[in-house]
Amino acid sequence: MRAMVLDRPKTPLQLREVPKPKPGRGQLLVRVSTCAVCRTDLHVVDGELPQPKLPLIPGHQIVGRVEEIGEEDPQFAIRNSQFAVGDRVGIPWLGWTDGVCPYCRSSRENLCDRARFTGYTIDGGYADFALADARYCFYLPNRYDDLEVAPLLCAGLIGYRSYRKTGDARRLGIYGFGNAAYLITQLALYEGRELFVFTRSGDKATQQAAKELGAAWAGGSDEMPPEKLDAAIVFASVGPLVPAALSALAKGGAVVCGGIHMTDIPSFPYADLWEERVITSVANLTRRDGDEFFEIAPRVPIRTLTEPFPLEEANTALDRFRAGRLQGTAVLMVNPAANS
């Protein structure tokens, strides 16, 4: 099968013929239709995340169809028998957990001590086929085709988990208006939140786009919003945005950091944190996040903005992402289904 392979961080992916994998116990072999490119893929390729599997097939927003089903795994009371050959499934970032550590046993499988991650510590979807643990595959809402639905699998899910961590915040700030922010803004507006969007200073085009989507206010991240915020989500991987967001919070407010990687956070006066303000982060996702998000996304309905690329042009997609030159989420069209 064709695969785009990372041999070493900070080098381009190599197009290669590799053996088609065989599904083991509890696994599905999935013929990949589309795979959306996530900022985390850039962090992996650029060597900003420690110890990736090498060589590695990146990609963790995978949409495909079940090609083959492995044996049941009695250890996990596995759910692979619930899938049939030909079913459309989504494969997300969280690819495997042990099910037995203190985190797994307290509904926090996203923090599992031994978790494995698709396209990082196990091979992902920049290839004709991908293996997946059936426990972590999702059925996807029928309203979306394979191209449209792909960005929901990480930008959507991690965005959703970040958003839920803001509780019932009425005035919500969003720092960094990329893929996740675009999706979650739609959900937040649907739920009646007042949105304040912060972009790079002077990025009038993005500010205008946020206002057109329904934001009450949009400005530069060096500006203060007209009113104090009940919560803010920082999606950009820029550490100085954390104290900036903190200083825009009302008492008791929270800053939620939605990314896996961020530059260092500069020091700030304790007075900015005092009065029960909170800084927290989001790591990975749980299956429950996925079930909830795929239930609500088509009701909003959350729309995705995508820019398709052939599998062979994954490096171009990554380069344009890095340079901020994409019009939407890059999606690799690996074996697009006829009806998508």
- Smallest gap, in angstroms, from Cβ of residue 113 to Zn ion? 5
- Smallest gap, in angstroms, from Cβ of residue 260 to Zn ion? 8
- Asked whether position 152 contacts Zn ion by CB under 5 A, the answer is no
Chain residues 40-69 in contact with Zn ion, contact rule CB under 5 A: 40
Each residue 188-207 as x (binds Zn ion by CB under 5 A) or -, in order, gives: --------------------
Nearest CA to 63 out of 151, 4, 2 is that of 151
Rg (CA), the chain: 20
Q: State the burial class of residue 50 (Cβ atoms within 10 Å of its Cβ: 0-12, 13-18, 19+).
A: exposed
The residue (of 242 and 282) whose beta carbon lies closer to Zn ion is 282
End-to-end CA distance of the chain: 22
Q: Is 107 helix (H, G, I), strand (E, B) or coil?
A: coil
User: Quick one: CA dihedral 20, 83, 135, 331, positive or negative?
Assistant: positive
- Asked whether position 104 contacts Zn ion by CB under 5 A, the answer is yes
Binding segment (CB under 5 A) for Zn ion, from list 79-87, 96-104, 272-280, 287-295: 96-104
- Asked whether position 101 contacts Zn ion by CB under 5 A, the answer is yes
Nearest CA to 252 out of 319, 170, 150 is that of 170
Binding segment (CB under 5 A) for Zn ion, from list 22-30, 102-110, 168-176, 278-286: 102-110
The residue (of 38 and 279) whose beta carbon lies closer to Zn ion is 38
Contact 28, 69 (CB under 8 A): yes
Which two three-digit tokens encode residue 172? 């919500």
- Asked whether position 118 contacts Zn ion by CB under 5 A, the answer is no
- Smallest gap, in angstroms, from Cβ of residue 258 to Zn ion? 10
- Asked whether position 38 contacts Zn ion by CB under 5 A, the answer is yes
- Asked whether position 282 contacts Zn ion by CB under 5 A, the answer is no
- Smallest gap, in angstroms, from Cβ of residue 180 to Zn ion? 9
Of the residues 42, 112, 188, 209, which one makes contact with Zn ion according to CB under 5 A: 112
Contact 116, 95 (CB under 8 A): yes
- Asked whether position 154 contacts Zn ion by CB under 5 A, the answer is yes
- Asked whether position 183 contacts Zn ion by CB under 5 A, the answer is no
- Smallest gap, in angstroms, from Cβ of residue 256 to Zn ion? 16
Cβ neighbour number for residue 146 with a 10 Å cutoff: 24
Each residue 215-234 as x (binds Zn ion by CB under 5 A) or -, in order, gives: --------------------
Cβ neighbour number for residue 296 with a 10 Å cutoff: 15
- Smallest gap, in angstroms, from Cβ of residue 58 to Zn ion? 10
- Asked whether position 318 contacts Zn ion by CB under 5 A, the answer is no
Cβ neighbour number for residue 324 with a 10 Å cutoff: 9
Cβ neighbour number for residue 252 with a 10 Å cutoff: 12
CA atoms of 59 and 93, how far apart (whole Å): 8
Contacts of residue 23, defined as CB under 8 A and 6 or more positions apart, other chains included, come to 29, 68, 69, 70, 131
Binding segment (CB under 5 A) for Zn ion, from list 83-91, 109-117, 134-142, 169-177: 109-117
Contact 18, 27 (CB under 8 A): no
- Asked whether position 97 contacts Zn ion by CB under 5 A, the answer is yes
Under the rule (CB under 5 A), what is the footprint of Zn ion?
A: 38, 40, 97-98, 101, 104, 112, 154
